[in-house]
Amino acid sequence: MTTPRRRDAAATRQLLLDAARRRFAADGYTATSVRDIAAEAGVNVALISRYFESKEGLFRACLRGTVDELKQTAFEGGPRELAARMAGAHSKAPNQLLLLLRSSGDEAAERIRLDTLASIAARLATAAGTNPENPQISVNAQFVLATALGVVILRSAGLEPLSTADQDQLTASFEKVITALL
């Protein structure tokens, strides 16, 4: 007699989130199907509805998870610490960051994505000790965010010498951008 496999809801949920982040980052929201996500995670597609209610709910959870991971450490410290974290972002979380860049083709998902980006920029401004309510500071914070996301794109594309620049080189460049703008 075989013993039934124990279910681990938290592990299954995480498998779905990881697969969804990879798929949404690589293929975009519209081109990604819940069946593809479930197949990559190795679980039944019905579990997406169980844990996330819908594809949109799963997308929202992916973005929320990205922001939560960034909030844990990315927005603490001064310009040097922020710069160091931004410099390491590509190697630690490229799918999460690329996910923020993918246009979804779905109005509700697009609103979630844009709200997430605005929130990250505001947190950058606050972490740098500036007021994100100031319109110029808001523009500058979004410019810093755009720089960080651009670095992720170019490193992912393999553009030399940026793709092989070491942590210290990237940190020094990010620190200049943060100090100049925020």
Confidence of residue 3 (pLDDT cuts 50, 70, 90): very low
Q: Model confidence over 35-53: pLDDT tens digits? A: 999 999 999 999 999 999 9
pLDDT at 70 (0 to 100): 64
CA distance 134 to 137: 5
Distance separating alpha carbons of residues 141 and 179, to the nearest angstrom: 11
Q: What pLDDT was estimated at residue 80?
A: 82
**Which pLDDT score is estimated for 4?**
43
- Cα dihedral 21→172→120→37 (10° resolution): 0
pTM: 0.72
Q: How many CB atoms lie within 10 A of CB 96?
A: 21
Separation of alpha carbons 20 and 38, rounded Å: 8
Angle subtended by helix axes 9-27 and 55-73, to nearest 10: 90
In the CATH scheme, what is the code of domain 9-181?
1.10.357.10
Mean pLDDT value across the chain: 84
Three-class DSSP category at 74: coil
Position 56 confidence tier, pLDDT thresholds 50, 70, 90:
confident
pLDDT at 58 over 70: yes
Residue 107 pLDDT: 82
Q: Which of 99, 95, 73 is nearest to 86 (CA)?
A: 73
Sequence spans of domains, the chain: 9-181
Q: What is the pLDDT of residue 117?
A: 86
Q: Residue 136 has what pLDDT? A: 92
For the segment 77-104, what is each residue's pLDDT rounded down to a tens digit? 678 888 887 887 666 566 667 777 776 6
H helices within the chain, ranges in order? 9-27, 34-41, 46-52, 55-73, 79-92, 94-99, 107-127, 135-157, 167-181
- How many whole angstroms separate alpha carbon 117 and alpha carbon 123? 10
Which whole number is the average pLDDT over 138-161?
90
Higher-scoring residue by pLDDT: 161, 6: 161
Fill in the DSSP letter of residue 7. Answer: P
Report helix, strand or coil for 102: coil
